[in-house]
Structure 1
């Protein structure tokens, strides 16, 4: 049996989540709190195995709660509950150490799937502790963990003067240097490696990096955790970075290929600029190396990117207006999917003019443009459909890993919006043509004209003529004549009615003209048709 803590400031949501957990796992013991501070008090007094927490709560929010749990090194699994609009918070929570996240409103099936995963993870940890493997690993790795923490603070400009002195002792460097980052893809690792196996792989990769640099100067490699695992290396060669890259460029490319071939993983390398003093300058080179890795959003993963060679301006602001010449609005008006896709491509090309923006800024601009189009066509969509499209895009576009995915997601949404508008227009057109036919059925005997009927339905004559033919495959005149002749045929079955009376009854003002038209269309004069029908 596991102890579960549900934290949400909304009593209805708190009770709803608790009831769903109780339904799926009756044996679990459940605690409920309204914020992170109450959660910490419960955790002090009880062993908690699983926390299901909202992100936004008073007093202490979900992200702060995660940080507290990480600092306490509690073996608790935390699942974030997030709405679409807070998706970035959910991603941040995962970076901080959350086990997973679920989107509100909560679906019973999604919660069941997460609980299954939690059961598996907790059971695996229990078995590991029983064998003593985890304890042994902690005893042998206490020093490396501290060193990794120290080096991480150095890279992020957070190291104190005392810590910098420790770093100088740990890594004495007489030359300038630079920082290189080697990034793995988290989703690839999750599908192929256990945590233990991946730790062994990282040790192997660190050794390979050390071998590459051993002929040019001292280097220091250590792990950084985040959205994707990274191995950071501080390299202090005797020669310039430009010289080193010319010398070892092919070796780095071979290194990337070897990781792919032997381990099935995509490794991407990003290098910052050379700094004269590695102790004070390494954080700047580290930040540049991070931006080089960000640039693979445009170029693709699995390569070496040098910060000095990229046209990148991460501070370039996102676009908050839609260039009129992209053609997106016009494509929507014409319901042209291909033109809408081309317009989105044009917009993206506009965003990439000059230095490339940060991926976050580009995605923000694309999202802004798509939302602008949805709102501009809101009246043509079904009720609540516009808000649903917007919520979906706010979730999907920021989560895109590369430019190709952004464009594909954008085109998919554009196609669905145009399809929905087209479907609604077709339904509306069907209702309108039905009303037109009903009107003609009721008034066919009157002196009708295209202009008068178009005016009755508030259409221009030209539009109504085209609209009517598009939906009936006949001109207005042809349809009205067919209707009148069908009615005349019905009346001709009454042998006592005069032809002239029938002609007037179906909208003809001249019996002779009626007779000529009837014979032209049916091949028989009205009297002949009557006799034929009687026989």
Structure 2
């Protein structure tokens, strides 16, 4: 049986630890002086029972419990405190704590509690150990394949099609920390749990490491759910718990696993640009030009989706008005004109395919209203899509 005692008071940690080792000689006791140390131990060891103080530096014991419950659902939690306030006990019970003990803790009460929890742990182990092993193996395989895809590495003989068939259309989300060589283990843990919970509440997916200072998520959302809403809520939650500067960005909807590395590179570049913007005031011309290059790459990739100026400006972390000015300087065109020209140029190519109906072509280039598409096409090229097909001698097959 493995126990963890998380308390910032050395005397409490050592006192409870010695008592448990004497009462239960077969147990292994780990100690942590902070939530950050506790998270590292939880990741490294298979902990069965956690006794945590409420008030610790950086993150409270209740917050630690909340963010770890999803990843370690089988752990038995006991909250220890010098405060008898009802609100603390109420929150502890709501989070699933098995007991709320006031300091100093009596030896007999501690023995009774640990004995009961240990028996529950033994019964639970028999039921779930094999299931957990199988799930863990599947998770490590899935995340390992995904990490290689994200880095553009060879996946060998692995069948990527079967790996991705569960996700018909997915979004990628990157969280990049500005860590400056400090330990970000706790921040990784927090963001992984926040993103995982939000994704599971809106659809399905997973979160994995993308280097020491970044996390990458894959999410398929339920019908009616929007990626922008997920990103906004994720940012609010992360700001609540993470004190380091960070950048969060997401892609549009993807269907091709082979393009994951390209999309991840785009997200990382956008994060670097955002960091450069915040570090230099006034903004350097070079950073602005690079931001427009990232925006242009995004537009060319997602021209069939919603491409409001505000959305694309947010992807490269620029104010919409400033983004519009930079865009015209860089391309010689207004943002709206550029998108229309790109879409209609692509539409001309699609019109040469006799198998495609006009409504399908309009949808493929971002227009659900065929009449609106036809009006734009005629205004741009001085002939309708049908007249263009006649001019190009395209014989439609329907």
| TM bucket, shorter chain | 0.3 to 0.5
Larger radius of gyration: 1
Structure number with greater CO (CA < 8 Å, separation at least 6) is 2
Q: TM-score, normalised by structure 2?
A: 0.33
Q: TM-score, normalised by structure 1?
A: 0.25
Give the structure with the higher percent helix: 1
